[in-house]
Amino acid sequence: MIAAISWRNIWRNKWRSAVIILAIAAGLTGGIFTVAMHNGMTEQKLRTAVDIQTAHLQVHAPRFLKNKDIRLYLDNAAGVIRALENQSAVKAVAGRLVTTAMAASSHANAGVQINGVVPETEMKISTIHSSIIDGAYFETGKRNQIVISSRTAKKLKLGLNGKLVITLQDIHGEIVGAAFRVTGIFKTTHSMFDEANVFVRKQDLERIVSMPDIINEVAVRLHNIEDAPLVQSRLYEKFKPTHAEILSWREIQPELAYINDATWQMNYLVLIIILLALAFGILNTMLMAIFERVKEIGVLMAVGMSKWRIFMMIILETVFLSLTGAAAGMIVSAVVVYWTNRSGIDLSMFAQGLESFGISSIVYPALDARFYGSLAIMVVVSAILSALYPAIKALKLKPVEAIHG
């Protein structure tokens, strides 16, 4: 009964109700789309880091990550790889030989991280092979091939089939070098990674540093990123930290983990600010409605309607008004997010800045369906809070004075 009366009361002044409903819908649509954009960028940044840099887990010799010294290699790399391959949560494992080096062409030189990989297994871990824009990701039957980024190619003034001399320390600490031929040029959405990394076959790098079959980095890709802590703890039980350093993507890039964890906090903070602004508009609207209906409320009190029922009538009017606007806003935003998630939003004018953070110039807004349930609860709570003051004002009215205006 009270709910039906409250619903009819909303539409007694159609224009005023329509304006506040549109305001709520527009505010929430803008807020939800902003959240979806932010969430899409964060997901893309995390996906880029996992796909080309960190994988889900990495295993190194202790202290290796501090200076990438090639002499710090895993003593029991084969055992680590076998233990990982026996884990059902593990999708793929790849052993790498990683070190720092100086790359020089006939025009310029640059410091790089050289990654010695086995292409067949690396393709299951990294997406570099799908980022090739010129040439191929290692041709069969050729020695000393190197794959570099388009940024490195531009810096060193090299093209496909260009000659690149790599100078580095071998396993004994001696300076060694070799000439490589550029067979592939790649470009990812992370410009800083592109500038710092080159790829060669692991067997070619082993031959140069005079040590066959050594691995100083094992990259692990899981079926589900959420399983990283579980697999990490199982490895720690099997291998002592003094023999191997087992790190998840969170520990390798803590700043990325912080951004990922803080995303939802920032998203809800944006929505709280928007709902707070809308709450003041709702409060003002309900106060106007109460002042216009002073005589009506006085009559209801005079004929015996309890103050609790009047209180609930005003609360329900506010909740219905807010939920109507919120439903409209969520429907519109869901359609917009779904459409832009499929087509993407082209931000090419900001490509250089976005790529420095590992974000593509095409952004795909994304939002979990559970978010809308949380938002509906937030709308109801803000509606109730904004209705309290007008409802209390109504309860303070005295029937006789209210009837006489």
Q: Which range of residues forms the domain containing residue 91?
A: 62-243
> Of 36-45, 87-96, 122-131, which range is least confident?
36-45
User: Is 252 inside a domain boundary?
Assistant: no
Nearest to residue 375, comparing CAs of 334, 315, 338?
A: 334
Select the highest-mean-pLDDT range: 124-133, 136-145, 273-282, 291-300. 124-133
Asked if the model's pLDDT at residue 286 lies above 90, the reply is no
Whether residues 86 and 197 fall in one domain: yes
Residue 251 lies in a domain: no
Same domain, 313 and 397: yes
Q: How confident is the model at residue 405 (pLDDT cuts 50, 70, 90)?
A: low
| Boundary of a domain, candidates 199, 219, 243 | 243
- pLDDT value of position 401: 63
Identify the pLDDT of residue 400. 63
Among the residue ranges 103-112, 226-235, 266-275, the one predicted with the least confidence is 266-275
Number of domains in the chain: 2
| Strands in 202-277 per DSSP E | 217-222, 245-248
The reply to whether 194 and 265 lie within a common domain is no
* pLDDT above 70: residue 298: yes
> Domain check: are 188 and 77 in the same one?
yes
Token pair of 342, please?
């499929």
237 and 263 belong to one structural domain: no
Calculate the average pLDDT of the chain.
85
In a domain, 116, yes or no: yes
Tell which of 213, 243, 273 closes a domain. 243
What Cα–Cα distance (Å) separates residue 63 from each residue in 13, 81, 193, 232, 247?
71, 20, 22, 18, 12
Residue 233 near residue 89 (C-beta atoms within 8 A): no
**What confidence category does residue 284 fall into, taking pLDDT thresholds of 50, 70 and 90?**
confident
**Residue 221 predicted with pLDDT over 90:** yes
Identify the residue with better confidence: 298 or 143: 143
68 has a pLDDT exceeding 80: yes
Q: Flag whether 285 is in a domain.
A: yes
Instruction: Give, in degrees to the nearest 5, the angle at Cα 275 between 270 and 280.
Output: 135
Quote the CA–CA distance of 10 and 321 in Å, as a whole number. 7
Token pair of 159 as six digits: 């093209």
pLDDT digits (tens, 9 = 90+) for 120-159: 999 999 999 999 999 999 987 788 999 999 999 999 999 8
Residue 250, domain member (yes or no)? no
- 213 and 94 both lie in a single domain: yes
Residues of the chain above pLDDT 90, percent: 25
Task: Measure the CA–CA gap between 294 and 300, rounded to whole angstroms.
Answer: 10
Residue 97 sits in the same domain as residue 235? yes
- Stated pTM of the model: 0.78
Say whether both 206 and 95 belong to one domain: yes
